[in-house]
């Protein structure tokens, strides 16, 4: 669906996006993570044919970014939710959507049906005749998402869609994104919200000018961070330590009542350790696995660039 190979964008001496290569599948929710200035929005603008690339290639459904003949076709395939809402605040919500539907050559019937369906899904139908300027931030963001979908595009690109939204509005947007996935839409989600990405994205890419890592959130956490088992017991004895050393545990450390070691598969590796501790006379209080969260992965990769 979306493919890039060595995609690069320079602004003078500044390289904003450096040698980006990725593939996004049809029907996938792909999360694009990175700090401010990492090149995420620049990537989106190139994919949407809003700015030119410096080098490399990118295609969307086989249409080539940078090919003038393909640009209009790409724009019709894409619905964009930018970081700046840009609504016509002197128009009602309904008229905002109707106007954009006309731009995309939707028929009167298509516009009517799509506007009703989208506003109902986003909880705005009862407010359809209210001026957009009177909407709250959350309502405006929902309206912008509806605007991006008015022409029923196959791909939805969202740039920080839940930024500055209250928890209820953010939840509505997340549920709507998942609803679109069930309709086989492809979602490209640029976000700083790591919890949001971990909950709804099939895969994520961590960007800091260059693509630092890509994969399923849980797999990235395992690969980059590794995982550790932390076992607390009443008292760490020499007998307990000797029993655990026989298991060849990785990076085993111990203090007066805590044992820690690295694990690749906790379900398989923890039970022999627990059994060894008990047989050596140890009294276990807790067993926990730590270090497998997306936040830790993100911070480790981003801070390595500092």
Whether the Cβ atoms of residue 139 and residue 124 lie closer than 8 Å to each other: yes
Inform me whether the pLDDT recorded for 250 exceeds 90: no
- The pLDDT, as a whole number, for residue 40 is 94
Return the CA Rg of the chain: 25
Of 193 and 284, the structure prediction assigns the larger pLDDT to: 284
Alpha-carbon distance of 259 to 171, in angstroms, equals 39
- The pLDDT, as a whole number, for residue 225 is 57
From the options 3.40.50.300, 3.20.20.70, 3.30.420.40, 1.10.10.10, give the CATH code of 2-216.
Answer: 3.40.50.300
Whether the Cβ atoms of residue 94 and residue 115 lie closer than 8 Å to each other: yes
Q: What is the pLDDT of residues 130-153, one digit of tens each?
A: 999 999 988 998 999 999 999 999
Main-chain dihedrals φ then ψ at residue 168, nearest 5 degrees: -70, -45
- The pLDDT, as a whole number, for residue 74 is 95
Q: What is the pLDDT of residues 105-115, one digit of tens each?
A: 999 999 999 99
User: Domain locations in the chain?
Assistant: 2-216, 227-290
- The pLDDT, as a whole number, for residue 47 is 96
**Model confidence band, residue 293 (pLDDT cutoffs 50, 70, 90):** low
Of 254 and 300, the structure prediction assigns the larger pLDDT to: 254
Inform me whether the pLDDT recorded for 306 exceeds 60: no
17-44 burial code (b ≥16 CB/10 A, e <16): bbebebebeebbbbbbbbeeebbbbbbb
- The pLDDT, as a whole number, for residue 63 is 96
Whether the Cβ atoms of residue 206 and residue 294 lie closer than 8 Å to each other: no
84 is written with which tokens?
Answer: 């700046």
Of 263 and 120, the structure prediction assigns the larger pLDDT to: 120
Per-residue pLDDT, averaged over 204-230, amounts to 82
227 is written with which tokens?
Answer: 């995982």
- Give the distance, in angstroms, between the CA of residue 146 and the centroid of all CA atoms in the same chain: 20
- The pLDDT, as a whole number, for residue 227 is 75
The CATH number of the domain covering residues in 227-290: 3.30.70.2470
- The pLDDT, as a whole number, for residue 200 is 93
Q: What is the pLDDT of residues 68-95, one digit of tens each?
A: 999 999 999 999 999 887 899 999 999 9
């Amino acid at each position: 669906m979306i493919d890039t190979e060595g995609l690069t964008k320079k602004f003078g001496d500044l390289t904003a996006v450096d040698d980006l290569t990725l593939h996004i599948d049809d029907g996938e929710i792909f999360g694009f993570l990175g700090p401010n200035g990492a090149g995420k929005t620049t990537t989106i603008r190139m994919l949407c044919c809003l700015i030119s690339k410096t080098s490399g290639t990118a295609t969307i459904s086989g249409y080539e970014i940078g090919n003038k003949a393909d640009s209009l076709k790409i724009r019709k395939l894409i619905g964009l939710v930018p970081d700046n809402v840009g609504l016509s605040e002197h128009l009602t919500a309904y008229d905002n959507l109707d106007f954009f539907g006309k731009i995309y050559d939707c028929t009167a019937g298509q516009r009517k049906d799509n506007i009703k369906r989208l506003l109902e899904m986003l909880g705005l139908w009862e407010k359809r005749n209210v001026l957009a300027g009177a909407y709250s931030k959350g309502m405006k963001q929902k309206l912008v998402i509806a605007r991006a979908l008015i022409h029923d595009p196959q791909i939805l690109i969202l740039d920080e869609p839940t930024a500055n939204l209250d928890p209820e509005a953010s939840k509505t947007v997340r549920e709507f994104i998942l609803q679109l996935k069930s309709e086989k839409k492809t979602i490209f989600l640029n976000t700083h919200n790591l919890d949001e990405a971990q909950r709804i994205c099939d895969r994520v890419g961590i960007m800091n000018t260059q693509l630092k890592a890509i994969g399923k959130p849980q797999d990235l956490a395992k690969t980059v961070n590794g995982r550790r088992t932390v076992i607390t017991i009443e008292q760490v004895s020499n007998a307990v330590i000797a029993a655990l050393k026989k298991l060849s545990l990785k990076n085993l450390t111990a203090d007066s009542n805590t044992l820690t070691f690295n694990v690749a598969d906790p379900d398989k590796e923890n039970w022999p350790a627990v059994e060894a501790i008990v047989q050596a006379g140890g009294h276990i209080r807790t067993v926990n696995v730590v270090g497998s969260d997306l936040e830790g992965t993100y911070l480790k990769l981003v801070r390595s660039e500092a």
